[in-house]
């Protein structure tokens, strides 16, 4: 593996913060930096200075270092940095009076990603069509896990996610909100979203039930 610069090293654990080669291990997950590249800027604007500083105090030092600089778009980051970020955003956001920080983050992230050509694709595709392509997004941005769509019909979809060994409850919620954001972006109006099975709580896999009008 080609690792990042010496500045991108977690001195507490001796691990490289990111690698430019897609990791082959199935024991822990890595995430492509481009997926979260806009998130630090969003967090600062969304939270304000006081809550942003609260986030930096809450996260592990290695996560704080990444947030203070930027995600390298072509690099792969340990999933624990992302889950640490999400946990801190949820806690600091709610302490600052935000109702659902994770849902707001996923909506922003999708808006940022679907500019230009991708925005046009969303206008052409139905919600069920866009959800049925979710597996392609997962494969592109995550080093482990398999997303399948057992059902994707007009007004309802079931999405299954398995083999993510380091999934957390809040990140499982973030996955659900990301799927909701896809449906809304494609013109649907959410009526129900539920995690019916959750691997982060002991199930063999996670399953998401989504309904819209």
Query: What pLDDT is attached to residue 116?
Result: 56
Q: Which of 140, 7, 6, 163 is nearest to 74 (CA)?
A: 140
- For residue 107, give the nearest of 181, 193, 183 by alpha carbon: 181
The CATH code belonging to domain 114-212 is 3.30.980
Residue ranges in the chain assigned as alpha helix (H)? 33-36, 39-58, 61-68, 79-95, 101-113, 117-124, 127-132, 134-141, 169-185
The Cα angle at residue 145 between residues 187 and 191, in degrees rounded to 5: 25
Element (DSSP H or E) covering residue 213 = none
State the DSSP code for 11.
T
Give the Cα separation of 192 and 183 in Å (integer): 11
* pTM exceeds 0.75 for this model: yes
**Residue 28: exposure state from Cβ atoms within 10 A (0-12, 13-18, ≥19):** middle
pLDDT in tens, 143-197: 999 999 999 999 999 999 999 999 999 999 999 999 999 999 999 999 999 999 9
* HSE-CB for 10 with a 13 A CA cutoff: 18
- Structural domain boundaries in the chain: 6-101, 114-212
- Residue-wise pLDDT tens for the chain (213 aa)? 333 433 344 434 445 688 999 998 888 999 999 999 999 999 999 999 999 999 999 999 999 999 988 899 999 999 999 999 999 999 999 999 999 999 999 999 988 877 754 555 666 679 999 999 999 989 999 999 999 999 999 999 999 999 999 999 999 999 999 999 999 999 999 999 999 999 999 999 999 999 999
Burial class (CB in 10 A: 0-12, 13-18, 19+), 2: exposed
Q: What is the pLDDT of residue 192?
A: 98
Q: What's the rounded Cα separation, in Å, for the pair 3 and 20?
A: 6
């Amino acid at each position: 593996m080609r690792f990042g610069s010496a500045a991108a090293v977690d001195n507490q654990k001796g691990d490289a913060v990111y690698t430019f080669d897609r990791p082959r291990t199935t024991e822990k997950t890595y995430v492509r930096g481009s997926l979260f590249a806009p998130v630090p800027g969003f967090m600062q604007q969304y939270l304000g200075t006081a809550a942003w500083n609260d986030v930096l105090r809450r996260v592990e030092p290695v996560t704080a270092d990444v947030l203070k600089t930027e995600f390298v778009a072509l690099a792969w980051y340990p999933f624990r940095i992302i889950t640490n970020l999400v946990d801190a955003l949820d806690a600091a956001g709610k302490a600052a009076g935000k109702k659902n920080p994770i849902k707001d983050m996923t909506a922003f992230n999708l808006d940022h990603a679907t500019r230009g050509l991708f925005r046009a694709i969303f206008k052409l595709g139905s919600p069920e069509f866009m959800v049925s392509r979710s597996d392609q997004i997962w494969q592109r941005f995550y080093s482990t896990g398999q997303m399948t769509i057992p059902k994707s019909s007009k007004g309802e979809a079931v999405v299954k996610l398995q083999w993510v060994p380091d999934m957390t409850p809040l990140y499982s919620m973030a996955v659900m909100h990301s799927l909701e954001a896809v449906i809304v972006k494609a013109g649907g109006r959410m009526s129900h979203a539920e995690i019916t099975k959750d691997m982060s709580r002991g199930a063999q896999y996670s399953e998401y039930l989504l309904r819209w009008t």
